[in-house]
Chains A and B, each alone.
Chain A
Amino acid sequence: MIGQLGSPLRAGDSTAGARGVLDDLLTHARGADIRPLAAWMLAIVFYLIYAALQPGMLTIDSLGTLAADGLPLATLALGQGIVILTAGIDLSVGGVMSLGTAIAATHFHGTGSGLAWTAVVLLIGLGVGAFNGVLIGALGLQPFIVTLATWSIFDGIALIVLPTAGGHVPEGFAGWITDNTAGFPNAIWALVVITILWLWFRRTKVARRIYAFGSDREGARMAGVSATRTLLAAYMLSGFCAAVASLFYAMQITGGDPAAGDGLILPSVAAVVIGGTSLFGGQGGFVGTIAGVLTLTTLGNVIFAVNLSSYWTVLADGLLLILAVLAGGGLHGLQQRFSGGRRS
């Protein structure tokens, strides 16, 4: 299909890999969007406050604990962020999280059943995402309403599987998140792997279509981007991420909780927004989102360190989200002004 432009142009290919990364960095240096950078600065400030309050925080082990604390949210926010890039939102991650922990706490009895039921949980995540994606992409329903409904449906199923918080997961399973591999905590490895997966994903055509769709859906459609396929991919990825996150969360609490996901919906959106992804779609990414996760996780730890009840964390998350939205808008406005919007 490239036709007349195709063959003579293959020469540039060999330099692609290394230069691609450099190009990315340069593009950022030229100031495409400063919000993710601002998010990282915020995260580092929070971490330094925390380290000042709790001496000895700069060891590998305590970083590992922090990573384990943040891992479920990071995984969840990866998927949520992909949906938000399409200018949508996925509330159903709450239901998937709840059901995932409930299944882990009731059906994981050993390696064999653990692996089998892990596959089931992951398939449920993909299935919920596909359901959302079809209703939103093919039938054009509102993401908020569709995922609000699926959230409730799967919370309900979670309650049927496990009526109250409890149950337990096998020790070998729960222990993985606090174990070390090659001298580094597994939770840190997991974060590294997730980030690499994101960087790979960012360079696929699906990702490009998701960004394009979020930037202007009609324009994307005219360029041959299918709304159905793009949204289906985004919501399935989000459902899958939520399923993985539920397993990490079950490791953390060493059991199940049919309401586990409900409290994580807001943080998953907050991490994405604090990380500089635009709720209007088309701008942002996981690199900023990790900073958002780190900020929210250390905030929880700071509140614990100053002996406030954990209820304050919930309140603080909400406040931080509003501040992030305000600051995000402000930063964006400043940037627009100084990058010379010449409008007549």
Chain B
Amino acid sequence: MNEETITAAGADLLATTDISKTFAGVHALSHVSLQVRGGEVHALLGENGAGKSTLVKSVSGVLRPDSGEVTFKGAPFTPSDPDESSRRGVGVVFQELPLIPDLTVMENIYFNRQPMTPVGTVARRRMRAQAERLFADLGLPGISPDSCIRDLSVAARQFVAICKVLADDPDVVILDEATSALGPAEVDWLLAQATRLAGQGKGIVFISHRLAEVQEIADRVTVLRNGQLAGTWDASEVSPDELVSQMLGRKLEQLYPERAAEPRPPVLLSTRQLSSGRRLREASIEVHEGEILGIAGLEGQGQLELFLSLYGMRRSRGGITVAGKPRRIRSPRDALRAGIGLALVPEDRKGEGILPTLSIRENLSLPILAQVTRFGLLRRGVEQSLVARVIADLKIARGDSEQPVSSLSGGNQQKVVVGKFLLTGAKLLLLYDLTRGVDVGTKAEIFRMMTDLASQGYGILFYSSDLSELVNVPHRVAVMFDGTITDEFASGELDQEKLIAAMVGHAQRPEVVTDDRPSTAGAGSEA
């Protein structure tokens, strides 16, 4: 955009030298050196906890590194907060979106730089014009500068967060998992923007768990492992397999396990023309015993409403039959009684179905308290042995069930979320985007758990925003578009192109951003 800020392509714009940061004696970062050149897209990879976010925070002034140096355009760079960092030329789109829900899009974008009138009020008209120009530059027709953040979908919020950073016209743009909340069309837009900005001579740092995206746009790749630099490569020189083994520090035998055994004939779940609100319209699906049914859909095509309706967290119309019995499901308790369990990762990833201050044992036994109570008292011994069984079954890492659940790794926390339903006797598990923002090692564990459970006869309804998971894990994939099931593929006939074509409907490409829609985040709290 701003031509005079271009640095000679190929020179280091931003460099960290020997950065170290320790939390409570644990090395989050240890002597990490990274160089970002003008004109490149530099991917930063690593498992959860590898230190990517700590590095980003150390560069942008959120954290102060214990030792080491950050230089920007050759001079020491020590901003005191991300706002200063952005003004001086290093903008970060953070994983947790720092937007103020009650302010409008433009007020958020220009929060610290609102144009003023001579009498000291905000020049709203000028601000609106600025925002509209920015959106036009970025090819974003769908967002109104006057929408309230609260009313936007998570994907639209992600766009605003990106615009907020780009509005400062920084020379280095750091995108920390900016694609995890976006659908395929929106991801394409972002990748195109990243490439375009790099073409202008800016340095782009791109953090993502999706290797396909990295392969598509990165010029160079740096991998962090346990807070240390595993290496930096030209993207054309390394294969995805090599990157994965660098991230893990070992070879990952298989990200996707063997598909689970063939489903058995009995139908576990069938819905007949299930409808809820305006977003779910007459959806009919069937899940057999031992079957993993994948659900594919762009954001907001009714998949969240389908899951919430099946779990009684939304009012719905139409028939739900579980194991041959028609069921009326109006609350999570009804769903539990019908043998259904739901593990849901909300789109904003806040609160992931665990109860953070409770122990692993207390988390697992919560839905079955009535069954471990005698004479009004909880029987700790019974509770303990039930819980121990689940911990062993799902290979939940920690042997000690008395530790707070928040001490577990992300993958193990999600096993706890799923595990509690094995105790309720649920036969049908609804897994909603369980792998969002999760690293490959953990993903592999979750898939293995899913296929194990399916082979034991559990039916699984599995929604994921990552298409390669849908292609590789389920027995069948049903595609949702505009609130209903529009297509279905058996695992043999699946590939990502077919799936995308079905997901965008047959007519035309959907708008990139859908505006003014109620938020689907927060586990359907308004349901």
Binding site for B on A (CB under 8 A): 1-5, 9-16, 19-20, 23, 26-27, 30, 32, 200, 203-205, 208-209, 211-212, 214-216, 218-226, 278, 282-283, 337-344
Of the listed stretches B18-26, B290-298, B441-449, B498-506, name the one at the interface; the rest are far from the partner chain: B18-26
Tell me which residues across on chain A come within 8 A of B422, comparing CB atoms.
Answer: 5
Tell me which residues across on chain A come within 8 A of B356, comparing CB atoms.
Answer: 215-216, 282
- Asked if A338 and B24 sit within 8 Å, CB to CB, the answer is yes
- Asked if B423 and A2 sit within 8 Å, CB to CB, the answer is yes
Q: Could you tell me the distance between the alpha carbons of A208 and B370 in the complex, rounded to whole angstroms?
A: 11
Q: Could you tell me the distance between the alpha carbons of A212 and B359 in the complex, rounded to whole angstroms?
A: 10
For this complex, 26 residue pairs linking A to B, each with C-beta atoms less than 8 Å apart, are A1-B337, A1-B371, A1-B424, A2-B368, A9-B382, A13-B379, A13-B381, A23-B402, A27-B359, A205-B369, A211-B357, A211-B362, A212-B355, A215-B356, A216-B354, A222-B344, A223-B355, A224-B332, A224-B336, A225-B366, A282-B355, A339-B24, A340-B24, A341-B23, A341-B24, A344-B54
Contact string against A for B residues 346-376, beta-carbon threshold 8 Å, 1 for contact and 0 otherwise: 0000011111111100110011111101001
Which positions 202-243 of chain B face chain A at CB distance < 8 Å? Answer: none
Of listed B51, B53, B366, B379, residue having the most chain A CB within 10 A: B366
- Asked if B420 and A205 sit within 8 Å, CB to CB, the answer is no
Binding site for A on B (CB under 8 A): 23-26, 28, 46, 48-54, 311, 313, 331-333, 336-337, 342, 344, 351-359, 362-363, 366-371, 373, 376-382, 384-386, 389-390, 402-404, 420, 422-425, 522-523, 525
Give the A-B pair count, Cβ closer than 8 A. Answer: 154
- Asked if A216 and B351 sit within 8 Å, CB to CB, the answer is yes
- Asked if A2 and B48 sit within 8 Å, CB to CB, the answer is no
Those 5 A-B pairs whose CB atoms lie nearest each other, nearest first:
A3-B425, A205-B369, A16-B381, A12-B381, A215-B355
Q: Could you tell me the distance between the alpha carbons of A219 and B416 in the complex, rounded to whole angstroms?
A: 12
Q: Could you tell me the distance between the alpha carbons of A222 and B522 in the complex, rounded to whole angstroms?
A: 12
Q: Could you tell me the distance between the alpha carbons of A27 and B51 in the complex, rounded to whole angstroms?
A: 30
Residue of B with least CB distance to A207? B378
- Asked if B48 and A344 sit within 8 Å, CB to CB, the answer is yes
Q: Could you tell me the distance between the alpha carbons of A344 and B337 in the complex, rounded to whole angstroms?
A: 39
Q: Could you tell me the distance between the alpha carbons of A4 and B427 in the complex, rounded to whole angstroms?
A: 11
**Chain B nearest CB: distance from A140 CB in Å?**
10
When A11-B385, A23-B402, A204-B376 are in contact, do A344 and B355 touch as well, CB less than 8 Å?
Answer: no
Tell me which residues across on chain B come within 8 A of A342, comparing CB atoms.
Answer: 23, 26, 28, 49
- Asked if B369 and A208 sit within 8 Å, CB to CB, the answer is yes
**Chain A nearest CB: distance from B436 CB in Å?**
16
- Asked if A14 and B50 sit within 8 Å, CB to CB, the answer is no
When A1-B424, A226-B331 are in contact, do A344 and B378 touch as well, CB less than 8 Å?
Answer: no
- Asked if A204 and B366 sit within 8 Å, CB to CB, the answer is no
Q: Could you tell me the distance between the alpha carbons of A283 and B404 in the complex, rounded to whole angstroms?
A: 12
**Out of A1, A216, A218, A341, which one reaches B425, CB within 8 Å?**
A1
Residue of A with least CB distance to B334? A224
Q: Could you tell me the distance between the alpha carbons of A83 and B331 in the complex, rounded to whole angstroms?
A: 24
Q: Could you tell me the distance between the alpha carbons of A243 and B294 in the complex, rounded to whole angstroms?
A: 55
Tell me which residues across on chain B come within 8 A of A339, comparing CB atoms.
Answer: 24
**Out of A12, A222, A344, which one reaches B384, CB within 8 Å?**
A12
- Asked if B26 and A340 sit within 8 Å, CB to CB, the answer is yes
